[in-house]
Amino acid sequence: MKEIISQSPEQTQEPARRLGHYIREQHLSCAMALTGDLGCGKTCFVQGLAGGLEIEEGYYITSPTFTIMNEYPAGKMRLCHLDLYRLSDPDELEYIGIEDQMGQNSVTVVEWPDLLIETGFIFDLYIHFEFDADFNRKITFSPSGQAGTNLLSNLSL
């Protein structure tokens, strides 16, 4: 487990940018769960990740709160950004075709992942966002399995 304190959007995006760059260079498929209250920096983190994956600047990375999923091309890969906040039943995951979106050549990032976790899905990396007493963002990275451990060890936080 690793933890950082971010005092700005740029400091939130920087480790995500490095992570995205590493994923792109290694051509890795992975899944990340982002947890934390509203406004804690989850989407800001995904914006940094998109930069590291070299997603074209013409794409505006936003939270998919109402669309459930946004997909962005990243060269031979793709970034699938999901927000499951509005879903209430695991059966709804099947209707949105979540299994089709995950897998080879994709980086899947899920905000509000509890519903997916209920199904037994295991993410490679769990990233928790919260405010500290000074309203800085505390970001905690927890790996799961060897793939997550490799991602985190190459992040050099």
pLDDT digits (tens, 9 = 90+) for 128-139: 999 999 999 999
pLDDT beyond 90 at 51: yes
In this predicted model, what pLDDT tens digit does every residue of 101-110 receive, in sequence order? 676 788 999 9
Q: Rounded to the nearest 10 degrees, how much is the dihedral formed by the CA atoms of 50, 53, 59, 65?
A: -40
Instruction: State the pLDDT at residue 94.
Output: 76
Residue corresponding to tokens 């936003």: 62
- CATH fold of the domain at 2-153: Rossmann fold (3.40.50)
Instruction: State the pLDDT at residue 153.
Output: 87
In this predicted model, what pLDDT tens digit does every residue of 11-37 receive, in sequence order? 999 999 999 999 998 888 899 999 998
Strands 137-143 and 69-74: unpaired
Residue pair 20/53 in contact by the 8 Å Cβ criterion: yes
Instruction: State the pLDDT at residue 96.
Output: 73
Mean pLDDT value across residues 110-139: 93
Distance, in Å, from the CA atom of 36 to the CA atom of 24, rounded to the nearest integer, reads 26
| Percent with pLDDT over 70 in the chain | 96
Mean pLDDT value across residues 77-81: 92
- Record the tokens describing residue 141, joined without a space: 């990275």
